[in-house]
Structure 1
Amino acid sequence: MKLIISGGTGFVATELIRQSLNNPRITSVLALARRPVDVPQNLGPKSDSGKFKSVVVHDFDHYPEDVKKQLEGADACIWTLAITPTKAKSMPWDEVKRVCQNYTMSGLQAIFEARGTSTSTPLRFLYMSGIAAERDQTKTPRFMAQYSLMRGETENQVLAFAGSHPEQIDASVAKPGLILQPGSIFHWLRATLLWWMASVPSISVVEISAAMLEQVMDGFEKDPLMNDDLARIGQKAMSNNRN
């Protein structure tokens, strides 16, 4: 399997790359980012860093032909590139929307075009959103309403694009709660606070990465994939990998 991971320098993307390089079913890993992406540290003894390639995309609204050439033949994509809610509070709204929504749709379009329509199996495109994203645009979310509606509308656009190409694209959305770094006291305290204040669930970066990889390799169980789904799938995948 040839896998594309966007936002290659990010927290989740780094773990996705690490696990991908340790998975023999994944034969090629392309990390898309604005700057070169290094191979993650602490790789397992069975990891194959030779199947990793960093692809620099200077403008995620435009994909030159040399970049599209490298995207050819992709079997799946996990799209993690976004502005987090915390960072969004201090950034111009137009920039937040451009990164979270425009870049996602431009990337999906570019990967679709690079792949062509003659492939026998559909591209599996997994969009990583968030638990608070609201698809129903008539609602007013309690938490960062404008941001939550925009992320929900992006989910709608991804699914609509896939729906217009049912033979070529299979899409789903991952909607985790707070993503934790295992062993981080700060993350644990924040997760506990969010749970007690707003019932926001959490999941470790290792679990969600294992879950998303399992889903793009074996097919989507459902849409959307909520935090509980991701935790269950991730824990099972991790257990199977240990056996």
Structure 2
Amino acid sequence: MKVILFGATGMVGQGVLRECLLAPDVERVLAVGRGATGQQHEKLRELVHKDLSDYSSVEEQLKGYDACFFCLGISSAGMSEADYRRVTYDFAMAAARTLVRLNPGMTFVFVSGAGTDSTGQSRTMWARVKGETENALLQLPFKAAYMFRPAFIQPLHGVKSRTRLYRALYAVMGPLYPVWKTLIPKYVTTSEQVGRAMLHAVRRGAPKRVLENADINALGTGEA
């Protein structure tokens, strides 16, 4: 399996990258982003590309892949809808439209979030934009496409958020993860389970095209 990974330096992307590098059946991982991951591994290739809205100059490097894990994202806090849409919708669609043309047999996995609104009518800006992005991605002719909606993600194995506020939140919430897992298992997952669930979706498919947190956990533990 050859995988393209967007957002490898973010918290979710770090976890997904780790699981890909550990998986025996993953032959190569191409990390695409504006900056390098800082990691070195025999399976890892990196494509530093500044313009995430246009891939015309690097298309040859994007051919021959079986899966794309699109983990690129940003907090909507303090952002205008236009700016948030550019990162969330425009960047995802630019990558997806290019990849589906170059790799029609590809499986595309997009990391959305719990609370995303598929109707596009939500008063919550981020939920509406995420929902519109999901809908647009599902219309593209990939071999398969899955929308992942994790809720609270506990980072494991040294994975860290790049957002200061989130790092502070995880410092407080992290020790309570076993409690949340017991009380509200449907709403908590781990960076490890998310990565493993994505790989499972590529290998064997998934029961739904839009996967909520509980569905992700089931895939990540091989119970789906």
Name the TM-score class by shorter chain. Answer: 0.7 to 0.9
Structure 2 CA distance for partners of 1:94 and 1:3, relative to 1, 3 Å: same
Q: Helix, strand or coil: the match of 1:59?
A: coil
1:178–1:201 contact (8 Å) kept in structure 2:
yes
Structure 2 CA distance for partners of 1:38 and 1:169, relative to 1, 3 Å: same
| Separation in 2, partners of 1:202, 1:24 | 27
Picking from 172, 189, 200, the partner of 1:214 is 200
- Which stretch of structure 1 is more off in the superposition, 204-213 or 182-191? 182-191
Picking from 112, 131, 136, the partner of 1:157 is 136
Q: Deviations over 1:83-120 (max 9, x none)?
A: 13xxx1222332211000000000001112333x5xxx
Question: Is 1:98 aligned with 2:86?
Answer: yes
Structure 2 CA distance for partners of 1:199 and 1:73, relative to 1, 3 Å: closer
1:34–1:56 contact (8 Å) kept in structure 2:
yes
Partner of 2:109: 126
Question: Is 1:230 aligned with 2:216?
Answer: yes
Segments of 5+ residues of structure 1 without an aligned counterpart are 41-48, 238-243
What fraction of aligned residue pairs are identical, expressed as a percent? Answer: 25
Partner of 1:43: none
1:124–1:219 contact (8 Å) kept in structure 2:
no
| Separation in 2, partners of 1:190, 1:150 | 31
| Separation in 1, partners of 2:27, 2:178 | 38
| Separation in 1, partners of 2:180, 2:118 | 22
Q: Helix, strand or coil: the match of 2:221?
A: helix
Segments of 5+ residues of structure 2 without an aligned counterpart are 158-169
Structure 2 CA distance for partners of 1:70 and 1:102, relative to 1, 3 Å: same
Q: Helix, strand or coil: the match of 1:50?
A: coil
Question: Post-superposition shift, 1:13?
Answer: 0.9
Partner of 1:180: 154
- Which stretch of structure 1 is more off in the superposition, 148-157 or 216-225? 216-225
Per the normalisation by structure 2, the TM-score is 0.84
- The structure number with the bigger radius of gyration is 1
Q: Helix, strand or coil: the match of 1:216?
A: helix
Q: Deviations over 1:56-105 (max 9, x none)?
A: 1201101133x211110110111111113xxx122233221100000000
Question: Is 1:70 aligned with 2:44?
Answer: no
| Separation in 2, partners of 1:232, 1:147 | 26
Partner of 1:25: 25
Aligned residue type for 1:136: T
2:107–2:202 contact (8 Å) kept in structure 1:
yes
Aligned residue pairs, count: 209
Question: Post-superposition shift, 1:135?
Answer: 0.5
| Separation in 1, partners of 2:206, 2:49 | 28
| Separation in 1, partners of 2:177, 2:133 | 26
| Separation in 1, partners of 2:177, 2:77 | 20
Partner of 1:241: none
Partner of 2:164: none
Partner of 1:202: 188
- Name which structure has the greater RCO, CA cutoff 8 Å, separation 6+: 2
1:178–1:191 contact (8 Å) kept in structure 2:
no
Per the normalisation by structure 1, the TM-score is 0.77
Aligned residue type for 1:204: T
Structure 2 CA distance for partners of 1:70 and 1:149, relative to 1, 3 Å: same
Partner of 1:81: 72
Aligned residue type for 1:20: C
